[in-house]
Amino acid sequence: MTPNQEKYLLVIDKLSKDKKLVRNRQVADILEVKPSSVTEIMDRLVNQNMIQHISYQGVFLTSSGEEQVALLKERRRILSTFLTFYLDISKTESPGIIDELLQVQNPLFFEKLDCYTAQETMESHIQYDS
């Protein structure tokens, strides 16, 4: 899955909170791209079984798409925690770095990073509480 496709899934997820079906025009407006570009990416997401398209109505996330969105959100949370709390990178600087680091596909990286940040957070709480 490309970073661009991941952005589309996140936008579809956000828009579908208000309405179940999301139109291409809505995605194009948020991402500030041409509707034809949206159609191309949407077709790819349909082929990957991430979304389902209903003609003349819109798209919605499939269960596979929902799982992918949940994974993306969790990975973003882990990376955001690491960058802001451990590397002191501001919240305005971190999104671009997060987008780059999300290209790491090995789940072990995220598991270890999550364990590290959780362990460090627990240790810092213990030190302050003592």
- What is the per-residue DSSP string for the chain? --HHHHHHHHHHHHHTTT-SSB-HHHHHHHHT--HHHHHHHHHHHHHTTSEEEETTTEEEE-HHHHHHHHHHHHHHHHHHHIIIIIS---TTTHHHHHHHHTT---HHHHHHHHHHHHHHHHHHHHHHH-
CA distances in angstroms from 125 to 76, 89, 92, 128, 129, listed in the order given: 23, 21, 26, 5, 6
Per-residue confidence in pLDDT tens, the chain, 130 aa: 888 899 999 999 999 986 789 999 999 999 999 988 899 999 999 999 999 999 999 999 999 999 999 999 999 999 999 999 889 999 899 998 998 998 898 999 999 999 988 876 555 544 455 4
Strand partners of residue 61: 51
pTM across the whole model: 0.81
